[in-house]
Structure 1
């Protein structure tokens, strides 16, 4: 089975450069922010988002090297993603991410919020310096979407009336928007046609949605080692995801457990079990599969190459995590 690292072989040296650059971009002006950055960018994340940007850049510029702007776009993408994680961890009060203590548990909430703000501001500054208004607009929208997704998630806790469409919208804001708009930005920097830009955007959008659905399935099927947090964390905090929404259609009693916020003994365990007894997980797998198929279809116009093959394989990798 291919690991995600071997998938990224065509851009391995690009990613290595990216991590070094990120530490320097955040700058040594603020020792505490540098420590936070070192901590974030060195925490052995999979770097999936910048890898997608770099793979697409290589896939669309086969005859030439990728542009410095493509590299900078990949760095900005990882900065925005990391800034959102720092803020998410404060909101969720998580102490550990990827097995490493979170910024707020190491440096306190105040520094964590400021470190997240600093990374958003820093990414905006580098974004402006790309001197491409279309890309600035696309990625500024992402920063708004990330906040919108968090707000929606906060407002819809324990809401058993949540529709699948509302769940997908929130998943777009929280996860897919960054992948979709940074993918499209690669094409903008390469002067591709509107049709090609649409394909790159839809590749990122569908891959991002599949990615989120798979994460939500793993919340029910993964181990603490895989998840880096206890199983069922989303359900426990009232964040209702695809497996739960599908299970609710079959098991009406599940709604009363959720609506009383698991206030009675055994409520949560019973709810967790009901999701497993329903078609919720298999229907969520089918939903993720449809999005991966749509993502892969968007790559058909790209010339055959190692980077293009890796982008297709990435879709299959996302699904293999739950099959």
Structure 2
């Protein structure tokens, strides 16, 4: 099983350049915002999203070289992703992310909200400067989707009547939209046909959904160390993900526990038992496997290259986090 670092090997240098460029792009102006941004970009993280943009850009390039606009697109992708994490952490009141103090716990809530806004605004500015209306539309849509996903997630807390489609829509907004639209944008900058653009979008969408479903399974099966947060924290917060929704179909008793927001002492532990005693986890795993397979199939047309191989292996890597 390859690690992320091994998978991103074909664009390792590009990612190094990306990080130093991001620091100088964001360095402008405000010391507090700069400190917040520095803190974010040095916090580690897998750089998977810009990595995917760079891999696609290289896979589409006749000579395997990257244009300045493709590089900038990858930087914008990472800015948008990072901005969304800052805001998510404020909304979730998380004190750490990947073991590093979150912006709002290191500075304060006001600074964190402004730092997120600042990053979104900078991303928009650099996006506009790519001078490609189609790309601007694709990535502006992502910024809308991220906010939309966050709002939807809040609206449907403890709501046992929500449909599976609602869950997928929210997962798309929060996780898959950025990967799907930035993958397609890389194709736009490479002048690909509309058919190829659709398949790049489909790759990103299905990969993002696989990623989210795997995350949601790990919330039930992972250890606190593995997750970097307490297990079942999504369920405890009232966020109903694939395993919980599948379990509700088999275990009517679960609905009562969720609807009373786990107010009893044993409620959460009992809910976990019900989920684990049902077919919810295997069904969720099958769902993730379907998404991963569809992502792989979407890129069959790409010419052979190290970057293509990495893109085709990524869905397997995402599933590998379950085992």
Structure 1 counterpart of 2:157: 157
Structure 1 counterpart of 2:270: 270
Say yes or no: does 1:205 pair with 2:205: yes
Say yes or no: does 1:317 pair with 2:299: no
Cα offset for 1:28?
4.3
- 1:169 alignment partner, SS class: helix
CA distance in 2, matches of 1:158, 1:64: 49
Say yes or no: does 1:89 pair with 2:112: no
Cα offset for 1:64?
4.5
- 1:265 alignment partner, SS class: coil
**Runs of at least 4 residues off by over 4 Å:** none
Cα offset for 1:292?
0.5
Structure 2 counterpart of 1:125: 125
1:190-229 equivalence runs, <5 A: 190-229=190-229
Identify which range, 199-208 or 29-38, moves more after superposition.
29-38
CA distance in 2, matches of 1:11, 1:72: 14
Say yes or no: does 1:233 pair with 2:197: no
Number of residue pairs matched by the alignment? 323
CA distance in 2, matches of 1:214, 1:101: 25
Cα offset for 1:282?
0.7
CA distance in 1, matches of 2:229, 2:35: 24
Structure 2 counterpart of 1:37: 37
Structure 2 counterpart of 1:57: 57
Cα offset for 1:265?
1.4
Structure 1 counterpart of 2:146: 146
Structure 1 counterpart of 2:25: 25
Structure 2 counterpart of 1:183: 183
- 1:289 alignment partner, SS class: helix
CA distance in 2, matches of 1:306, 1:89: 35
Cα offset for 1:65?
1.2
CA distance in 2, matches of 1:286, 1:64: 35
Pairwise CA RMSD: 0.7
CA distance in 2, matches of 1:314, 1:39: 28
CA distance in 2, matches of 1:58, 1:65: 6
1:9-20 equivalence runs, <5 A: 9-20=9-20
- 1:134 alignment partner, SS class: helix
* Unmatched runs of 5 consecutive residues or more in structure 1: none
Cα offset for 1:221?
1.0
1:73-88 equivalence runs, <5 A: 73-88=73-88
> Could you give the per-residue CA deviations for residues 150-175 of structure 1, whole angstroms, max 9, x where no partner exists?
11000000000111111000000111
